[in-house]
Amino acid sequence: MTAFEANFDGLVGPTHNYAGLSFGNVASTSNEKSTSNPKLAAKQGLMKMKALHDLGFKQGVLAPHERPSVAHLRGLGFGGTDAEVVRKAAKEAPTILAACSSASTMWTANAATVSPSGDTADRRVHFTPANLNNKFHRSIEHPTTGRILKAMFADERHFAHHQALPAQMHFGDEGAANHTRFCAEYDAAGIEFFVFGQAAFDTRYPRPIKFPARQTLEASQAIARLHGLSLEQVVYAQQDPNTIDAGVFHNDVISVGNRNVLFHHQRSFLDQAAVLAELDRKLAAVGGQFVAVEVPEAAVSIDEAVKSYLFNSQLLSKPNGKMIIVVPEECRSMPRVWAYLESLVNSGGPIDEVKVFDLKQSMQNGGGPACLRLRVALSAAELAAVNPDVLMSDALFGSLNAWVDKHYRDRLMGEDLGDPQLLIECRTALDELTQILQLGSVYPFQLI
Ligand code: SUG
């Protein structure tokens, strides 16, 4: 094989908690104030990474961020020593402290949009960190995300890094969660599929009524321009606004693609038939044969899709050309969803194997297997240029588990976020992590 899809999973940070911060994300709001277990959350994520590595897939790790973000708390007017900043925020504005403490960087599908070199004008892999402008707790991620991505993909001959789009609702960008790429081979030309929730300037497009549409058409178009994509290799589609109102806050909660296959729900996109026809036509023009695997509403309802996270799955190509679907445990505990999956893998179609993972800690905040990973399609030469210390191995799995055991708590509640000791624990852990992953200085506390 000369090209690969590498998955970079977010390592869950030491402050993982349930603060109900994401209006429109049903799991997040319904689990507000539950007690979290950061240690277990990190280990559940590591188990998935190791299992996929053991199956022969290219697997990497994306580091968590410094939380609470003292810099943001200071910017919002909390002063004094770092400990005083945390204590004052806990007393005067616990919700703002919770937002500045979220471990939401674990969902690396939202870290950036990545265009492989087969698609870009300068034949480099392009990265644009997502501004995540729709939610304050996520809007503070992109500067550090950008530094970490540069530390992982440093070689300028192969990798190009852009700034996040303007931090404004018109350019709301949620990264790869709303972006899929189709191709025949990972290093050949492909079709980049951008799914938006609303158009910000053009009011002729429909909008959801109840919940926010996080991704705009204008943001997706800007990314395509920045990455040097050709119009003939891009498809834009609008997510059905009714599904956003039903809790589908990102496209990756209703569809997932890999190579030439799009696994999706019957009600994923507006003008769905036209969208699928355009994908078929454009993929054929670059030598691929598009396969649409559509799940009918009668088999799995939108509500069941949101509860089970069936579509927040990973599709992974096996050497024999068939694909594994990686789903969360919640799919197995919903009989109709599980029955559908059994029929899918027995159907003779491209997806012929299912793997189930327990990711409950992340799921309770609305993050399934696909949310936890950023895909980067790489040629062999590009893979060789990636910082090797972020790639999963038996040794790295061992050191990250030991690191989690040493630094993480197994219980965290809202009140605990006001403990300045948690900040010290987080910084101590991350300082050590940057050495394990050879990232250099990427965190605010390391840059001063
Ligand atoms: O942005 N949840 C994340 C979940 C992101 C899932 N990602 C993808 N679908 N790709 C979000 O809504 C909840 C945090 C809290 O409530 O404590 C949160 O940020």
Structure tokens at 77: 């007017």
Where does 298-419 have alpha helices with state H?
302-308, 329-332, 335-345, 360-363, 380-384, 394-407
CB-CB neighbours of 447 under 10 Å = 10
Mean pLDDT taken over the chain: 98
Conformational region of residue 20, where left means phi above 0, alpha means psi within -120 to 50, and beta covers everything else: left
Q: 43 in a domain, yes or no?
A: no
Residue labelled with tokens 């997706």: 220
pLDDT bracket for residue 166 (50, 70, 90) = very high
Angle between helices 420-436 and 394-407 (to 10 degrees): 160
Percent of the chain at pLDDT > 90 equals 99
End-to-end CA distance of the chain: 44
What is the number of the ligand 1 atom nearest to the C-alpha of 32? 16
For residue 157, being part of any structural domain is answered with no
Q: Summarize pLDDT for 23-39 with one digit per residue, the tens.
A: 999 999 999 999 999 99
Stretch 339-354: mean pLDDT = 98
- Supply the pLDDT for residue 364: 98
Q: Which of 381, 440, 436 is nearest to 148 (CA)?
A: 440
154 sits in the region (left: phi over 0; alpha: psi -120 to 50; else beta) called: alpha
| Average pLDDT of the residues in 307-313 | 98
Nearest-atom index, ligand 1, CA of 29: 16
Q: For residue 129, what are its two tokens?
A: 């960190």
Residue 1 has pLDDT above 90, yes or no: no
Give the active site residue among 5, 174, 330, 382.
174
Q: Best substitution site from 8, 12, 21 to test ligand 1's pocket, by max atoms within 8 Å of Cβ?
A: 21
* pLDDT value of residue 87: 98
Tokens in use for 115? 């265009």
How many degrees, rounded to 5, is the angle at CA 15 between CA 12 and CA 21? 95
Place of tokens 């993909």: 153
User: In the structure encoding, which two tokens stand for residue 135, read together?
Assistant: 């939610």
User: Could you identify the residue written with the tokens 């007690």?
Assistant: 35
- Residue 177 CA to residue 108 CA, distance in Å, equals 9
pLDDT of 439? 98
Whether the ω angle into residue 68 lies within 30 degrees of 0, i.e. cis, is yes
For residue 331, being part of any structural domain is answered with yes
CA distance 135 to 131: 10
| DSSP element (H, E) containing 41 | helix 38-54
**Centroid of ligand 1 to alpha carbon of 28 (angstroms):** 7
Asked, for residue 86, whether it belongs to a domain, the answer is no
Residue 392, CB half-sphere, CA atoms under 13 Å: how many?
26
Largest CA distance in the chain: 64
Active site residue 174: yes
- Structure tokens given for 112: 């950036």
Could you give phi then psi for residue 444, rounded to 5 degrees?
Answer: -50, -40
Pairing of strands 125-129, 159-161: parallel
Of the candidates 1, 51, 18, the residue with the CA atom closest to the CA atom of residue 324: 51
Q: What angle do CA 220, 279, 162 make, to 5 degrees?
A: 25
Q: Which domain holds residue 318?
A: 296-371
Average pLDDT over residues 333-358: 98
Rounded distance from Cα 3 to ligand 1 centre (Å): 31
pLDDT of residue 448 exceeding 80, the answer is no
For residue 2, the model assigns a pLDDT of 86
Q: Which of 16, 161, 250, 264 is catalytic?
A: 250
Task: Specify if 318 maps to a domain.
Answer: yes
% the chain with pLDDT above 70 = 100
**Over the stretch 355-381, which tens digit does the pLDDT of each residue have?**
999 999 999 999 999 999 999 999 999
Residue 364 lies in a domain: yes
Phi, psi of 104 (to 5 degrees): -65, -10
Q: 347 lies in a domain?
A: yes
The arithmetic mean of pLDDT across residues 307-336, rounded, is: 98
Work out the angle between the directed axes of helices 82-92 and 94-101 (0-180°, nearest 10): 130
- How many of the other CB atoms lie within 10 Å of CB of 341? 23
CA of 25 to the centre of ligand 1 (A): 7
Number of independent structural domains in the chain: 1
The backbone torsions φ and ψ at residue 343, rounded to the nearest 5 degrees and listed phi first, read -70, -35
Residue with the smallest CA separation from ligand 1 atom 10 is 371
Ligand 1 atom nearest to CA at 371: 10
Pocket-forming residues, ligand 1, beta carbon under 6 Å:
18-22, 25, 28, 102, 104, 107, 109-110, 138, 177, 250, 252-253, 365-367, 371
384 pLDDT exceeds 90? Answer: yes
Neighbours of 219 (CB within 10 A): 31
- Annotated active-site residue 250? The verdict is yes
428, containing H or E segment: helix 420-436
Short-list 175, 251, 171, CA closest to 219: 171
Mean pLDDT of the 180-203 span: 96
Q: Tell me the C-alpha distance between 173 and 217, whole Å.
A: 9
**What is the per-residue pLDDT across 195-217, written as a single tens digit (0 to 9) for each?**
999 999 998 999 999 999 999 99
Q: Let me know if residue 198 belongs to a domain.
A: no
Q: Is the pLDDT of residue 193 over 80?
A: yes
pLDDT for residue 77 is more than 70: yes
Q: 259: phi > 0 → left, psi -120 to 50 → alpha, else beta; which?
A: left
Q: Which of 110, 145, 174, 306 to mutate to test the pocket of ligand 1 (most atoms within 8 A of CB)?
A: 110
